[in-house]
Amino acid sequence: MIKLMNKEIFKRAVEENPFETINKIVYDLMYDAIIKLDFLPGEKINVAQIANDLEISRTPILEAIKQLKQNGVVLSYENKSGYYVSYLDIADFQSVHFSRRMLESHAVYLYTKYNPTVRFDELKEAAEEFYKAFTVGNYRRIADLDNFFHNLIVEECDNDYIKSMYKGIEKKMSRYIQFSTAILGKTPSALSARASQSQHLAICNAIEMKLPDLAKRAMEEHMDTVSQGLFLHVKDFMYIKDNEIEH
């Protein structure tokens, strides 16, 4: 697996964003690394190691961590030195899921009603690849395809308000999805998540038949299945880690 916090990726980010501050670039890379599980929940952040890997001073890293703390992604403890990736929060997850379910079900309704042929071939291909990825147990691929599938529907729903609200929860949502797929198959709760394997195809079938109400129901069913699996994964992880934390 390619780590997101390395010299080559950092230099490329600087080149691609010449007007952005180093602090912001480091922040974005660290946030993405947390979402992609290069830094696991509860892991201590090694500032010196990151500075060495990126060949920069510790100052922009500490500034990025300060902002990550404000966003609740990084924590510090009174009785422990350093900074730690925050644990996943069940109440927060439930709020994010409620918002996601509402936005995506309406997005797919609008997409099916007004734009059912726009990039549909891409959508169906992603659904088919998603099914195959489950079959072979390629969980990182599952997360990437899931993200592409759902984002495409929102992007092409032709409603700027839905798109704007969705963007507001996107990174939080990605963290829960990436975490869940990373441990998929390692816990008994993986069985509920596997039920979603064919549901992307069911959504595509409803879109292809140009039945917006059916597409909306299929998305709601998919969201509920995913929610059940994700909730169990987050719950399992928090139970284990809460008993391992030294307070």
Angstrom distance (rounded) from CA 229 to CA 195 = 9
The confidence band for 245, taking pLDDT boundaries of 50, 70 and 90, is very low
Whole-number Å distance between alpha carbons of 31 and 36: 9
Q: What is the distance of C-alpha 26 from the center of its chain? A: 19
Which comes out higher in pLDDT, residue 234 or 224? 224
Who wins on pLDDT, 109 or 140?
Answer: 109
Predicted TM-score (pTM) of the model is: 0.74
Query: Are the beta carbons of 200 and 174 closer than 8 angstroms?
Result: no
Mean pLDDT along residues 94-108 = 94
**Mean of pLDDT values over 118-141:** 89
Q: Averaged over 173-202, what is the pLDDT?
A: 70
Q: Tell me the β-bridge partners of 77.
A: 80
Residue 151 confidence class, pLDDT cut points 50, 70, 90: very high
If pLDDT is split at 50, 70 and 90, which confidence band does 187 have? low
What's the burial of 63, exposed, middle or buried (CB within 10 Å: 0-12/13-18/19+)? middle
Q: Are 6 and 54 in contact (CB under 8 A)?
A: yes
**pLDDT tops 80 at residue 31:** yes
| Averaged pLDDT, 194-201 | 83
CA 81 to chain centre: 28
**Residue pLDDT, tens place only, 167-184:** 999 888 888 777 776 666
The 10 Å Cβ neighbour count of residue 83 is 21
Q: Where are the alpha helices (DSSP H) in 17-159?
A: 22-35, 47-54, 59-70, 90-114, 120-136, 139-155
Percent of the chain with pLDDT over 70: 85
How confident is the prediction for the chain on average, in pLDDT? 85
Q: How many CA atoms lie within 13 A of 221 on its CB side?
A: 16
3-state secondary structure of 135: helix
Confidence of residue 247 (pLDDT cuts 50, 70, 90): very low
b vs e for 208-227, b when ≥16 Cβ sit within 10 Å of the residue's Cβ? eeebbebbbbbbebbbebbb
CA gap 173, 143 in Å, rounded: 11
